[in-house]
Structure 1
Amino acid sequence: MTTRPADVDLRRNARAAWAVFAVFAASGATFATWVSRLPAVRDGLDFTPGQMGVLLLTGAVGSVVALPLSGMITARLGAARAVTTFALVAVAGYALVCVGVGTGTALAVRVGLVVAGIGFGVWDAAMNVEGAVVEQRLGRSIMPRFHAGFSLGTVAGAGVGSLAAHAGVPFVWHVGVGVALTVTTALVCVRGFLPTPHAVRADVPEPDCADPAEAAPAHGLRATIAAWREPRTLLVGFVVLAAALTEGAANDWTALSLVDGFGAAESTGAFALALFLAAMTVTRLAGTRLVDRFGRVTVLRAGSVAALVGVAVFAFAPWLWLAVVGSVVWGASAALGFPLGMSAAADEPQHAAMRVAVVSTIGYAAFFVGPALIGLVADVVGFRHALVVIALPVVVGLALAGNARPLRAERTA
């Protein structure tokens, strides 16, 4: 029986969707493996809350440096090669972090986090670009499910981290082996990515394509600068900034907030983080139907309101169990902002890489400012109450959510 081209394309797109999902999951597991053991890092380096905030800031520096160039890198290398190259950079960074924590050398930890941040920045942008391409090929909203893969990876990473902390596994062995395994998974799965439609060369004109998903991507310094001049792209970036700060603050501070605020065990803090991430995962898996039914803007606004409620409950709850409930609401509310922002940035496939780079750069500014700010405030009022500062960007994201309305829907109208 002859295989029809349409069947081949269907299988290829389905395979690519699972590959992107797996790469997102590997990225999430890598990140959670590190953050789930932050109390051990704090103890190993004997850091104050403010010093921990500055330490987390150093990792964001690497990402913020790399992200503005990530669109150009991804357009030139292709998503698969970009993920492969910079996942290995992230591994090198975390290896140095392990050496630093094991020897009590704060400088080595900081340098390692900068290197890991560079790797994660380009890795993140490249997999989002590939996810946008697959979403366009499938013709339906699927980006939240890819980010559900990231959340699923973080749940697994945080869960293993909780068990490792409870069993007394040293930080160096847990993080070193865990990161090596998760990155190896990503390197294997990128083989399922869709083939790059066109080699990107400056001396070759872009061909005309009937299918926008097949169009050669915009590339180079001129395209990068042009993306930074687009008002809609910048405003979508601020929506993602609010979402990233809402999500990132929980990743960084949930475990420490419960350990220090309630005197809970380190394993309890890691377990609460796992519940937060589980709530994100479930919401992202269900998010495609919510978006298809209610639209991006309505879902983003509802998530912002729920985030304000969840953070308030977590920050002011008098009992540990209620704070954990607040973290679950917080996790569900933070689930869809980042993936919907990536989808909005990639509405036009030809410009997706550059716009995703812009939006990601603005979003990652949350990891640049948030940890240091919250750490400094925590020196005065404690970790839990310091988290209230994220209410302001959440309100800003609520006000700007209308800018994420799909471009194609507007043009059709």
Structure 2
Amino acid sequence: MATTRIAVAPELRRARLGVSLIFMTNGILLGNLAPRLPEIRDALELTYGGLGLAMAMWPIGSLGLGLAAGAVIRRFRSSRVAVAAMIICAFAMLLAGVADHVVVFGLALFMVGATDGFVDVAQNSHGLRVQRLYRRSINNAFHAMWSIGAVMGGLMGGVAAGLDIPVSWHFVGMTALVIALNVVSYPLLLKGPEPQETVERGEDEAGMPHSSRPRRIPARIWWILLALSMIAIAGAWAEDAAATWAASYLRDELSATATNAALGFVSLQGFQFVGRITGDRAIDRFGQRTVARAGGALVFVGMGLALAFPTVWGTIAGFGAAGIGIATLIPGAFHAADEMPGLKSGTGLTVVSWMLRLAFLASPPVVGAIADATSLRVGLMIMPIMGLIVVALAGVMEPRRLLRPDSAPSSPAAPSSPAAPSN
């Protein structure tokens, strides 16, 4: 039987575009950094382990100050927090690019992490708010825009490196672009504070609980949340391996040019974009469980073969296969956690989100230490291992994805809806 698609109000379409621009600029920042990391490491005279420790300052900043994101969003709205934090994050990344000492570089990355943590919560909060008003899944499309932004940034960084443009001048241009796009995005976002009925239940749409005492969570639910966290971590660690180490691996161990070395990260993000832009339909048809399991297998096979038979273009292809494989893992794990029965809305999302951020602390130092002791090729074995973990744990995800009946308003385009934005 044919389904009737409900008309979407123009203000919702504008809000979707605004959220997409914020996600995209968030990806542009990381994308521009990844291809220049080999040069930054050389300039600061760091070992792989030293770079890994410096990069760990990013998640430390996110964990250290990001806990305040929920309270700040409730006070100033997700739209304002997302845009303001994104602009501050761009300036912090500029400082990282011009740093002439590892301490300055580390402190700049700490501020990048802190502000990125605010952006992450706020942009997802506003994106979920828009999705609820749409009454259909659009969440993976937002994450796809992050991926396309990362591809844009990776290409910008790769071309700049190939043309020997100084990192400082390159990052000045990047900062100007990010600020301009965020200034454009703000008027497009939903007006008014976060939905009141969500606040009254004790949490906001960012999944950040209020200070009320949480109910006791059964052991079985904790196990499922842990498994979902590991699935999200697997996707994040594979993505971080490409962002932090792909350019160095291709340049240092496979003798790729500076521009070609950037293509490992670009390949992963480009194919991740393809996976995310098609992910909602794939999940609706086959279910999160099947898509996640197939994705884990693709990461294992793609990167396993690339590392077993190392060549420049084979490695770039392996990163691309991994990109498709991990495309829906983090959004899928977040969604499954947020839909956990028996939990207050937002509790599961909070648990998985913060376990994911905590795990980010370990990834760069672990791979860097392994690389110093052996080689980056061995350190990157973390990617196929993460793929196997996803295959093993994907059973905790739902075979089909359905929006909660109470998550959508009765009339998505009507201003009188309880979840509709107020002016």
TM-score (norm 1): 0.86
2:56 partner SS: helix
Tell whether the 8 Å contact from 2:144 to 2:272 is kept in structure 1 after alignment. Answer: yes
The 3 A distance-change label for structure 1 pair 112 and 169 is same
The residue that corresponds to 1:313 in the other structure is 305
Amino acid at match of 2:333: G
Q: How does 1:19-168 map to 2 (within 5 A)?
A: 19-100=18-99, 104-168=100-164
Structure 1 residue 239 corresponds to structure 2 residue 245: no
Structure 1 residue 257 corresponds to structure 2 residue 253: no
Tell whether the 8 Å contact from 1:207 to 1:216 is kept in structure 2 after alignment. Answer: no
Moved more, 126-135 or 62-71: 62-71
Tell whether the 8 Å contact from 1:314 to 1:384 is kept in structure 2 after alignment. Answer: no
Structure 1 residue 331 corresponds to structure 2 residue 323: yes
Residue correspondences, number:
396
Q: Distance in 2 between matches of 1:216 and 1:93?
A: 24
The residue that corresponds to 1:362 in the other structure is 355
Moved more, 67-76 or 243-252: 67-76
1:206 to 200, 203, 208: 200
Q: Which runs of 5+ in 2 are unaligned?
A: 1-5, 407-423
Residue 354 of structure 1: how far off its partner (Å): 5.4
The residue that corresponds to 2:3 in the other structure is none
Residue 98 of structure 1: how far off its partner (Å): 3.0
Structure 1 residue 14 corresponds to structure 2 residue 13: yes
Q: Distance in 2 between matches of 1:351 and 1:11?
A: 32
2:375 to 382, 389, 400: 382
Residue 112 of structure 1: how far off its partner (Å): 0.5
The residue that corresponds to 2:173 in the other structure is 177
The residue that corresponds to 1:3 in the other structure is none
The 3 A distance-change label for structure 1 pair 113 and 330 is same
Amino acid at match of 2:57: T
Q: Distance in 2 between matches of 1:200 and 1:410?
A: 18
Q: Distance in 1 between matches of 2:214 and 2:97?
A: 35
Residue 24 of structure 1: how far off its partner (Å): 0.7
Tell whether the 8 Å contact from 1:76 to 1:199 is kept in structure 2 after alignment. Answer: no
Q: Distance in 1 between matches of 2:139 and 2:229?
A: 16
Tell whether the 8 Å contact from 2:250 to 2:256 is kept in structure 1 after alignment. Answer: yes
1:269 to 256, 261, 264: 261
Residue 352 of structure 1: how far off its partner (Å): 5.6
Amino acid at match of 2:60: V
Structure 1 residue 189 corresponds to structure 2 residue 188: no
Q: Distance in 1 between matches of 2:157 and 2:315?
A: 20
Structure 1 residue 220 corresponds to structure 2 residue 210: yes
Amino acid at match of 2:134: L
Q: Over aligned residue pairs, what C-alpha RMSD do you find? A: 3.2
1:343 partner SS: helix
1:373 to 366, 379, 382: 366
Tell whether the 8 Å contact from 1:304 to 1:394 is kept in structure 2 after alignment. Answer: yes
Q: Distance in 2 between matches of 1:86 and 1:97?
A: 16
1:47 partner SS: coil
User: What whole-Å deviation, never above 9, does each CA across 1:103-142 have from its counterpart, x for those lacking one?
Assistant: x211111100001110001101211122222222222222
Q: Distance in 1 between matches of 2:49 and 2:394?
A: 32
Residue 44 of structure 1: how far off its partner (Å): 1.0
Q: Distance in 2 between matches of 1:40 and 1:224?
A: 47
Residue 157 of structure 1: how far off its partner (Å): 0.3
Q: Distance in 2 between matches of 1:352 and 1:72?
A: 17
The 3 A distance-change label for structure 1 pair 353 and 77 is farther
Q: Distance in 1 between matches of 2:199 and 2:251?
A: 58
Residue 171 of structure 1: how far off its partner (Å): 0.4
Q: Where is the helix percentage greater, Structure 1 or Structure 2?
A: 1
2:295 partner SS: helix
Tell whether the 8 Å contact from 1:315 to 1:323 is kept in structure 2 after alignment. Answer: yes
Q: Distance in 2 between matches of 1:344 and 1:61?
A: 26
Tell whether the 8 Å contact from 1:242 to 1:366 is kept in structure 2 after alignment. Answer: no
Residue 312 of structure 1: how far off its partner (Å): 0.9
The 3 A distance-change label for structure 1 pair 94 and 218 is closer
Amino acid at match of 1:136: R
Residue 367 of structure 1: how far off its partner (Å): 2.4
The 3 A distance-change label for structure 1 pair 281 and 223 is farther
Q: Distance in 2 between matches of 1:189 and 1:241?
A: 30
User: What whole-Å deviation, never above 9, does each CA across 1:145-176 have from its counterpart, x for those lacking one?
Assistant: 11110000000000011110111110011113
Q: Distance in 2 between matches of 1:217 and 1:257?
A: 37
The 3 A distance-change label for structure 1 pair 411 and 126 is closer
2:395 to 395, 402, 409: 402
Q: Distance in 2 between matches of 1:227 and 1:176?
A: 48
% of aligned pairs identical?
26
Tell whether the 8 Å contact from 1:27 to 1:186 is kept in structure 2 after alignment. Answer: no
The 3 A distance-change label for structure 1 pair 228 and 192 is farther
2:49 partner SS: helix
